[in-house]
């Protein structure tokens, strides 16, 4: 055994999330978070080389050059994985707050040319440097709240050039800052003026997808499947084409209306179906049967202020694996905070803190195809570790609106 470069020790409680890397945690297994008291984790050349009690890990890999960090009295977890964000964009939409407070529905704002289409305009107006500066700031905030890996979607371009630009900028940002980014193509995010839904669907399939795939710019393809945006038929056509081009699939499904989105997600065997506020019973059964991950976005429900949340307990009971994400975007979820998501998930999705933590780490890693690398503290995985300044796990959702993250270690380096 080699000596560690970094050894984090004396954690009052360390949640390893071990044992779920081959397949996501479901049902009662979502509560098995691999707790170790007086825990320690050792990292060498960016990867975890030992996990156990402080005594065990120190004995095995404490060398003369090893740097040590004490987590005495604190909780240690894997870095959070945020598997659904739209964090790359120009501008902001606080001007829509008054409409929202008057009760104007989200899709009505979009139909009036606001919402996503407003961000499409402000993104187009911004230079590459401006978009990167703004997005970097958001990624830095995400990191400060413990997110060490995040999925990022395109979708504020809606032309071939602008969508490819967004995906290229995601790749550049991935290299230039600490949070690891997983790029998703989401050209089918809204229908721009001048197109029918069918015409724009054809454009996505014939022009955008082949170019995005040819440049190797995206790992996943996502669609906003929702009555009034992209129908089941259009969504299926787009996702089938994406599958032919070797992209993995995701879907925004059953967010605002129950319309068979989850059933389609299961039929296509997507990796994750996201939102699911209005998922039907048959939809839940279909997701469970196909092992589709439900990526739930309770901060979006909270921010849309409709007092309506995804039926998470029914999904856990049915054996659907649950992941949690911020949905960070300028309209329906302008936040970068996974701790806030955990609080809302416990209070309104009625997840236990253990289930919520599994959703924000290992199951989230599965939702973006990274469970072999991140999401748990296990030998061979990236040294992505959080030290939370809290005495126990209940404290994480309990004390809300603040930042419990004291230190963020990314690939064995202290980055926050
Ligand atoms: O997941 N539902 C569609 N897309 C985003 C919202 C994007 C926006 O409003 O800018 C979502 O909520
Ligand atoms: Fe989204």
Tell me what the mean pLDDT of segment 334-355 comes to.
Answer: 98
Give the ipTM of the model, two decimals please: 0.96
Instruction: Report the CATH number at residue 34.
Output: 2.30.40.10
Identify the helix (H) or strand (E) that includes residue 234. helix 232-244
Q: Is 224 in the pocket of ligand 1 (CB under 6 A)?
A: yes
Q: Is 298 in the pocket of ligand 1 (CB under 6 A)?
A: no
Cβ(231)–Cβ(197) below 8 Å: yes
Q: Is 335 in the pocket of ligand 1 (CB under 6 A)?
A: no
SS3 at position 74: coil
**Is the same domain home to 25 and 168?**
no
Q: Is 184 in the pocket of ligand 1 (CB under 6 A)?
A: no
Note whether residue 327 is domain-resident. yes
Give percent helix, percent strand, percent coil of the chain, each to the nearest 5. Answer: 40, 20, 40
CA distance 129 to 133: 6
Tell me what the mean pLDDT of segment 349-355 comes to.
Answer: 98
Closest-lying ligand 1 atom to the alpha carbon of residue 84: 1
Work out the mean pLDDT of the chain and round it to a whole number. Answer: 98
Give every CB contact of residue 244 below 8 A, 6+ residues apart in sequence: none
**Is the same domain home to 109 and 11?**
no
Q: Mapped to the 3 state alphabet, what secondary structure does 265-294 carry?
A: HHHHCCCEEEECCCCCHHHHHHHHHHCCEE
Question: What percentage of the chain exceeds 90 in pLDDT?
Answer: 99
Q: How many CA atoms lie within 13 A of 369 on its CB side?
A: 15
Tell me what the mean pLDDT of segment 376-402 comes to.
Answer: 98
- pLDDT at 241 exceeding the cut of 80: yes
Q: Is 331 in the pocket of ligand 1 (CB under 6 A)?
A: yes
**Is the same domain home to 324 and 405?**
no
Cβ(338)–Cβ(360) below 8 Å: yes
Note whether residue 1 is domain-resident. no
53-108 pLDDT, tens digit each = 999 999 999 999 999 999 999 999 999 999 999 999 999 999 999 999 999 999 99
**Is the same domain home to 280 and 399?**
no
Q: What is the pLDDT of residue 306?
A: 84
Tell me what the mean pLDDT of segment 369-389 comes to.
Answer: 98
**Is the same domain home to 223 and 314?**
yes
Q: How many CA atoms lie within 13 A of 181 on its CB side?
A: 31
**Is the same domain home to 50 and 104?**
no
267-282 pLDDT, tens digit each = 999 999 999 999 999 9
**Is the same domain home to 140 and 107?**
yes
Q: Is 370 in the pocket of ligand 1 (CB under 6 A)?
A: no
**Is the same domain home to 201 and 325?**
yes
Note whether residue 224 is domain-resident. yes
Note whether residue 52 is domain-resident. yes
Note whether residue 384 is domain-resident. yes
- Beta-strand relationship, 67-70 and 6-15: parallel
CA distance 27 to 314: 10
In the reported structure, the alpha carbon of residue 251 is separated from the centroid of ligand 2 by a whole-number distance in angstroms of 9
In the reported structure, the alpha carbon of residue 116 is separated from the centroid of ligand 1 by a whole-number distance in angstroms of 7
Note whether residue 228 is domain-resident. yes
Note whether residue 86 is domain-resident. yes
**Is the same domain home to 136 and 17?**
no
CA distance 253 to 277: 9
SS3 at position 222: strand
Q: Is 119 in the pocket of ligand 1 (CB under 6 A)?
A: yes
CA distance 165 to 129: 12
In the reported structure, the alpha carbon of residue 77 is separated from the centroid of ligand 1 by a whole-number distance in angstroms of 29
**Is the same domain home to 185 and 204?**
yes
Note whether residue 277 is domain-resident. yes
CA distance 19 to 396: 22
Among protein residues, the one with the nearest Cα to ligand 1's atom 3 is 224
User: Which residues are bridge partners to 225 per DSSP?
Assistant: 230
Enter the DSSP assignment of 215: T
**Is the same domain home to 336 and 277?**
yes
Number of domains in the chain: 2
Instruction: Report the CATH number at residue 114.
Output: 3.20.20.140
Q: What is the pLDDT of residue 1?
A: 66
198: how many CB neighbours lie within 10 A of its CB?
Answer: 13
Tell me what the mean pLDDT of segment 336-360 comes to.
Answer: 98
Q: What is the pLDDT of residue 2?
A: 87
Over the range 235-250, which residues count as b (16 or more CB within 10 Å of their CB) and which as e? bbbbbebbeeeebbbb
The preferred substitution site among 86, 112, 229 for testing ligand 1, maximizing ligand atoms within 8 Å of CB, is 86
- Beta-strand relationship, 75-78 and 385-388: antiparallel
**Is the same domain home to 112 and 140?**
yes
Domain that holds residue 251: 81-367
CA distance 264 to 292: 11
């Amino acid at each position: 055994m080699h000596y560690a470069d970094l050894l984090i020790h004396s954690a009052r409680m360390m949640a390893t999330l071990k044992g779920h890397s081959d397949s996501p945690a479901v049902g009662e297994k979502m509560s098995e978070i691999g707790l170790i008291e007086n825990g320690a984790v050792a990292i060498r050349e960016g990867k975890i080389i030992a996990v156990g009690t402080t005594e065990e890990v120190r004995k095995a890999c404490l060398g003369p050059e090893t740097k040590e960090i004490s987590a005495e009295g604190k909780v240690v977890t894997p870095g959070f994985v945020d598997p659904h964000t739209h964090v790359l964009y120009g501008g902001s939409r606080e001007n829509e707050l008054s409409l929202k407070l008057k009760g104007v529905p989200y899709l009505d704002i979009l139909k009036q040319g606001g919402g996503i289409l407003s961000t499409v305009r402000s993104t187009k107006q911004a230079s590459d440097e401006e978009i990167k500066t703004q997005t970097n700031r958001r990624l830095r905030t995400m990191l400060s709240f413990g997110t060490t890996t995040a999925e990022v979607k395109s979708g504020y371009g809606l032309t071939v050039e602008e969508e490819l630009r967004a995906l290229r900028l995601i790749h550049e940002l991935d290299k230039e800052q600490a949070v690891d980014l997983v790029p998703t193509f989401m050209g089918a995010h809204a229908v721009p003026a001048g197109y029918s839904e069918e015409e724009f669907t054809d454009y996505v399939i014939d022009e955008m997808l082949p170019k995005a795939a040819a440049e190797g710019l995206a790992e996943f393809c996502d669609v906003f499947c929702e009555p009034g945006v992209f129908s089941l038929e259009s969504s299926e056509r787009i996702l089938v084409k994406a599958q032919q081009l070797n992209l993995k699939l995701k879907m925004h499904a059953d967010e605002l209306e129950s319309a068979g989105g989850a059933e389609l997600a299961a039929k296509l065997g997507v990796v994750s179906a996201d939102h699911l506020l209005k998922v039907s019973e048959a939809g839940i059964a279909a997701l469970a049967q196909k092992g589709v991950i439900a990526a739930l976005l309770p901060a979006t429900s909270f921010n849309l202020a409709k007092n309506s949340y995804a039926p998470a307990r029914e999904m856990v009971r049915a054996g659907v694996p649950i992941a949690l994400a911020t949905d960070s975007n300028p309209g329906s979820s302008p936040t970068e905070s996974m701790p806030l998501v955990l609080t809302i998930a416990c209070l309104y999705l009625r997840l236990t803190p253990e289930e919520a933590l599994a959703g924000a780490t290992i199951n989230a890693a599965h939702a973006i195809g990274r469970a072999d690398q991140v999401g748990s503290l296990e030998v061979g995985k990236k040294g992505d570790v959080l030290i939370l300044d809290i005495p126990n796990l209940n404290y994480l959702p309990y004390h809300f609106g603040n930042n419990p993250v004291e230190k963020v270690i990314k690939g064995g380096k202290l980055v926050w």
